[in-house]
Each structure stands twice: as C-alpha cells, then as structure tokens.
Amino acid sequence: MQVKAMRLAMLLVLVLPVCLIAQSKTDSKSANQQESKKGKQKQTPTRDSEKSVKPGINKNFIDPNLDVDRYVKRFEVESREVYLLRERILSACEIKKGDRVADIGAGTGLFTSMFSTVVGDQGWVYAIDISPRFLQHINKQATKLKMNNITGVLCAENSINLPPNSVDVIFVCDTYHHFEYPKSTLASMHRALKDDGHLIVIDFERIKGKTREWTMRHVRAGKEVFRREIEEAGFAVAKEKKIGLRENYFLKFRKTSKSQKRKPEQIKK
C-alpha cells in the first residue's frame, strides 16, 4: 500500500510540471491569437489622445483626386437649403466691413466669396479646410475673380491652425458634424477667436421621424448635443436665428472663458 502511494506521488511529481508547461503554452498561444485578432480589428484613429468621433467621414474630401466640379454641382445648387437661403444666412451673420472671418470647412468656397465682398479691402477671409483640392479650387477662383482678401489655409483634422486672437467671426456651415476631433478643433477655434468675436454654427436638424434617414446616419448628433459640446469649450449661445431654415439650424455663440462648464441657458430667439 505504502509502495503504491509512493509510486503515485512520484508520478505526480514527474507528470504535473509537463502538464503545467503544456497548459501555459496553450494559454499563451490563445492570448497571442487574441492579440493578433485585435491587431486585425480596425483601430479608432486618435489625435493627441482624442479619439475620432466619426472615423472616415472625410475620406472623400481628403482624397487628392477629389473631383471638385462634382461637389460644386452638389453644394451650389438651389435644392440645397443653405445655398437657396445663402443671402439670408449672410445677413444673419452680421459681418461688417473690415472684419476678419474664418470660414471653417470652406468646401467649394460658396460662403468664402460672399464674405470676401462684405469685409472689403480692409477685411480678410481665411478659407480653412482639410481638403487640399478644395483649397486649390478656392485659390484659383479668388485669383480669377480678383478677390485679393482671401487666404486658403490647409488645416489639421484637430486644429484650424490660426494664430491666437486673429479673427472676429468663425463660420462653420455644414461642417461641425464633419469634425472628427471636436474637442481639440473647438479649443483651436476658441484660441483663434477674439474676445468679442462670434462663432456661427449652421448644421442639420436631426429629429427622429422627421429628418431623412441619410442625414440621421450621416450626422452623429443633433442640435442639443452639439450645443453642449460647444458650450463646454468656452462659448455661450447668444442667439438662435430663425431665418426660414427647415432642415438646418443657425446658432450664434459668443466667447466666454475657456472650458467653463455652463448651465444650459435659454436660447434667445
């Protein structure tokens, strides 16, 4: 009996380590397999520790072969609300002669050229975009139309790349929902805006059951969410302007101290 027990103990001493080594090999193999699976999964792009809120949304715009004419036909057409009501939008912006205006996400330059006429010789318009092809087009048009107060600025996906306190008005039309890194982009806008300056945001209404499906999918959030994000970046709503827009809203913000958490204010109408 005693001999049997001793044999069993010896067997355990010999076999157990082999089993443990085999098990640990299997564990590390499956861990490696999981790691390589993870590696194959799409990683969310990150800039300065901010994660993209909508990866890939600007894929077409940053394409070096972007067909600008196609977008001119798409953006500068009466069936697009912000184009149809562009004159009303322009006057609601209350831009003055001599102002320095930043048109963020200038696209085909629809509003850039309108601002250029309003601000005149003493003012300046910065057409800012992440799309090199749109900027080439804007520069070409500015030269052709002898609009000498426009500068195209190729910006980063997370910064508008303007110096501090350099502009009176920041205009963001149909572009806020394209910001992949809204926090850092907003911080750069806050820096660039003069203390008594204004930020104007026009974007799509996103109302379930009313807004069309394409917009619901394309635009990541509605007015209240965007408004909160902008307020958290140090802006306060000055006015929501009702100028006959149905698919879009027009919000005008003023600058407050940076990153001040604000209670939601009543929007003055």
Ligand X SMILES: C[S@@+](CC[C@H](N)C(=O)[O-])C[C@H]1O[C@@H](n2cnc3c(N)ncnc32)[C@H](O)[C@@H]1O
Side chain identity at residue 197, one-letter code: G
Closest approach of ligand X to the CB of residue 27, in Å: 44
Asked whether 170 and 155 are in contact (CB, 8 A), the reply is no
By beta-carbon proximity to ligand X, the closer residue of 216 and 262 is 216
Which residues are paired to 104 by β-bridges?
128, 172
d(Cα 185, Cα 63) in Å, to the nearest integer?
21
Residue positions counted in the chain:
269
| CA–CA distance, 184 with 130 (Å, rounded to integer) | 15
User: Would you say 2 or 214 has its CB closer to ligand X?
Assistant: 214
- Give me the long-range contacts of 90-99 (CB less than 8 A, separation at least 24): 90/114, 90/115, 90/118, 92/241, 92/243, 92/250, 92/252, 93/169, 93/171, 93/200, 94/198, 95/119, 95/169, 96/168, 97/122, 97/123, 98/122, 98/123, 99/123, 99/168, 99/169
Nearer to ligand X, 61 or 262 (CB): 61
Shortest Å, Cβ 158 to ligand X? 7
Give CA–CA dist 250/93, Å, rounded: 9
Name which of 131 and 197 has its Cβ closer to ligand X: 131
Instruction: Please give the helix or strand (H or E) that residue 5 lies within, else none.
Output: helix 2-40
Least distance CB 259 / ligand X (angstroms): 19
Q: Which is nearer to ligand X, 110 or 167 (CB)?
A: 110
Q: Which is nearer to ligand X, 129 or 168 (CB)?
A: 129
Phi and psi for 95 in degrees, rounded to 5?
-80, 140
Q: Which of 195, 243, 196, 251 is nearest to 222 (CA)?
A: 251
The residue among 43 and 161 lying less far from ligand X, judged by its C-beta, is 161
Neighbours of 60 (CB within 10 A): 12
Residues that bind ligand X (CB under 6 A): 58, 61, 75, 82, 104-107, 110, 128-131, 134, 155, 157, 173-175, 178-179, 185
